[in-house]
Amino acid sequence: MRPARSSRPVVIAHRGASGYLPEHTLVAKALAAGMGADFLEQDVVATRDGELIVFHDLTLDAMTDVATVFPGRARTDGHYYCIDFTLAEIRTLSVGERRRPDGTGPRYAGRFPDGAGRFQIPTLNEELAFIDGLARALGRPLGVYPEIKEPDWHRRHGIDLAAGVVAALEAGGWGAPQRPVYLQCFDAGELQRLAGQHQCRFPRVQLLDVAGGVPSATCLAQIAGYAQGIGPSLRLLGTGQSADEPPVSLIGDAHAAGLVVHPYTVRRDDLPAGYQDVDELLDHVVHRLGADGVFTDFPDLVVAWVRRRFPG
């Protein structure tokens, strides 16, 4: 197999080492750092009092005991929204493994068991300080990769989430060269606003989901006007497609536009169709197609593959 890249790809711990511990808990970040991840991801949403927390969903339902602790605080749609709770209230909640939307069991069977530990939701500031501490203790750089979640939704609730994330990074000293940062968002308008109006110094990654389809070379050139990279769903790279479908050239086209490519999400327990294991998936996406790194719930498996493929 002809390798498409010669430099070492980066390992981005998706919500921490979330294949092993409840996502976005500080212990999941510490485990990912100990496993050798280069970047630790933060999904960021806001509370009612405008505090930024590291949490994936707009609602607390699938990850916490909110329905037990705060009965009657759901909206009429039946959901408990982070933005309806103060940070003090959110600090009283316990976080566990992600449950299925219908609440019938864990989203991923075989991951960390219920009731085996007590975990809380960290604020963005707490997590940035924690990661800085980890980097100092480990004696190596650790990058952060915050995602600005649903910026329009937050703006409608009176919060400029992107401005808050950038302010937290600046206040925490993350502009320094030994502290790698990527900012990510699905919302192109928000990334354009960061690049233009805010003259944000942190590199930006345009996330791409399956619904948007594979972007054309023209579209990638437009993205290169306000971002330094793309974060496509693995499915946009042609993983899982049948052999008679035309090959997808997204990574090559993105590189031609000067963009780095960090696909999401490599999971041992949720592989695309046709792959036996994580190694086989990485052989295709990184070694053959040339991705510059991957988001993964299992950083140890990706780090092991990288060390084998890129020794020294």
- Let me know if 56 is a catalytic residue: yes
Q: At what angle do helices 26-35 and 299-309 cross, to 10 degrees?
A: 20
CA–CA dist 125, 99 (Å, integer): 27
Shortest CB 56 distance to ligand G3P, Å: 6
State the amino acid at position 288 in one-letter form: R
- Let me know if 157 is a catalytic residue: no
Using CB under 6 A, which of 10, 14, 227, 281 touches ligand G3P? 14
- Contact in structure between 24 and 32 (CB atoms under 8 Å): no
Report what 47 binds from Ca ion, ligand G3P, none; CB cut-off 5-8 Å by kind: none
The contacts of residue 290 (CB under 8 Å, 6+ apart) are 4, 5, 251, 252, 255, 261
- Residues in region 141-200 near ligand G3P by CB under 6 A: 147, 184
The contacts of residue 284 (CB under 8 Å, 6+ apart) are 239, 275
Q: Are strands 52-54 and 229-232 parallel, antiparallel or unpaired?
A: unpaired
CB atoms within 10 A of CB 111: 17
Adjacent-strand bridge partners of 148: 44
The active-site residue, picked from 24, 56, 284, 287, is 56
CA–CA dist 275, 14 (Å, integer): 20
Using CB under 6 A, which of 207, 234, 260, 301 touches ligand G3P? 207
Using CB under 6 A, which of 38, 43, 150, 292 touches ligand G3P? 43
Shortest CB 145 distance to Ca ion, Å: 8
Report what 295 binds from Ca ion, ligand G3P, none; CB cut-off 5-8 Å by kind: ligand G3P
Using CB under 5 A, which of 43, 84, 127, 150 touches Ca ion? 43
Report what 207 binds from Ca ion, ligand G3P, none; CB cut-off 5-8 Å by kind: ligand G3P
State yes or no: residue 45 binds ligand G3P (CB under 6 A).
no
CA–CA dist 263, 296 (Å, integer): 9
Shortest CB 7 distance to ligand G3P, Å: 22
CA–CA dist 68, 66 (Å, integer): 5
Using CB under 6 A, which of 143, 164, 231, 232 touches ligand G3P? 231
Residues 122-151: x/- map of binding to Ca ion (CB under 5 A)?
Answer: -------------------------x----
Q: Which residues bind Ca ion (CB under 5 A)?
A: 43, 147
Catalytic residues: 14, 56
